[in-house]
Homo-oligomer: A and B are copies of this chain.
């Protein structure tokens, strides 16, 4: 898209992004040093977010996330019933396979993660809900591409090599896609389609984790478990 965005709004969300469990409160100085803005500007943004209800201040100069964010967060969860429905299903797959599992939908900017079950292993890979994945080098992305018409594929891809076309044909035939270090060098994933009532691809679901663990047995077990989960989600 070419529409110039609104810089102020982007800054405001950058400020909200500074909050974490380790940092439940921020000050204008926090914003200025972390985001490189002027202290006066930072202060003005904090007051604006407070006026909007996004932040609240109980101590002079200190700001915490406010009621508006909590309410919007609850609303976001409640009007997105899909995530609520799939969460227990992907939790089960994650326990079964002992790797992380995620579900994506195709947003305007690419496959977008809508639900995650992070593996309970001491060391595993995680991804944030809301993350937009590259469409050409991820298992999710390749599944979406495999289910598109050629014109739609061209809209998403700058140039489509013969290798990629062949790969997409194979993915459509075998019913799953692999990512073997294509996106991040040490990351592996296997994704399967979730079809809607209309027979169209509505979501994709994957097991993902460190590439070294994605041997043939894990891939086989993952495809089976994911396919079972996909049927449960699509019901």
Chain B residues with Cβ under 8 A from A1's Cβ?
47
Partner of A76, one of B5, B66, B106: B66
| Interfacial chain B residues near A105, Cβ < 8 Å | 58
CB-contact partner of A72 in B16, B48, B50, B109, under 8 A: B16
The tally of residues in A whose CB lies under 8 Å from a CB in B reads 60
Q: Is there contact, CB below 8 Å, between B6 and A72?
A: no
Inter-chain contacts of A169 with B (CB < 8 A): none
Residue in B closest to A112 when the chains form the complex, CB atoms: B56
**Which A3-34 residues have a C-beta within 8 angstroms of B?**
3-6, 8-10, 12-13, 16-17, 19-21, 24
Once the chains bind, are B72 and A69 in contact (CB under 8 Å)?
A: yes
Contact with B along A50-73 (1 / 0, CB 8 A): 111110111010001111111111
Collect the chain B residues with CB atoms within 8 Å of residue A109's CB.
50
- On whether the beta carbons of A70 and B77 are closer than 8 Å, the reply is yes
The interface of chain A, by Cβ under 8 A from chain B, is 1, 3-6, 8-10, 12-13, 16-17, 19-21, 24, 43-45, 47-54, 56-58, 60, 64-80, 105-109, 112-114, 128-131
Q: 26 A–B contact pairs at CB < 8 A?
A: A5-B44, A8-B9, A9-B45, A10-B52, A13-B53, A16-B68, A19-B72, A19-B75, A19-B79, A21-B79, A24-B80, A50-B108, A50-B109, A56-B107, A57-B108, A58-B108, A65-B72, A65-B80, A66-B130, A67-B112, A67-B129, A67-B131, A68-B130, A70-B73, A70-B130, A71-B130
**Using Cβ atoms and an 8 Å threshold, which residues of chain B touch A68?**
13, 16-17, 130
Name the distance in Å between A8's Cβ and chain B's nearest Cβ: 4
In the A-B complex, the 6 residue pairs with the closest CB atoms: A73-B73, A67-B130, A24-B79, A65-B76, A8-B8, A13-B52
- Beta-carbon nearest neighbor of A130 in chain B: B67
- Residue contact A9 to B130, C-beta cutoff 8 Å: no
Shortest Cβ gap from A113 to chain B (Å): 7
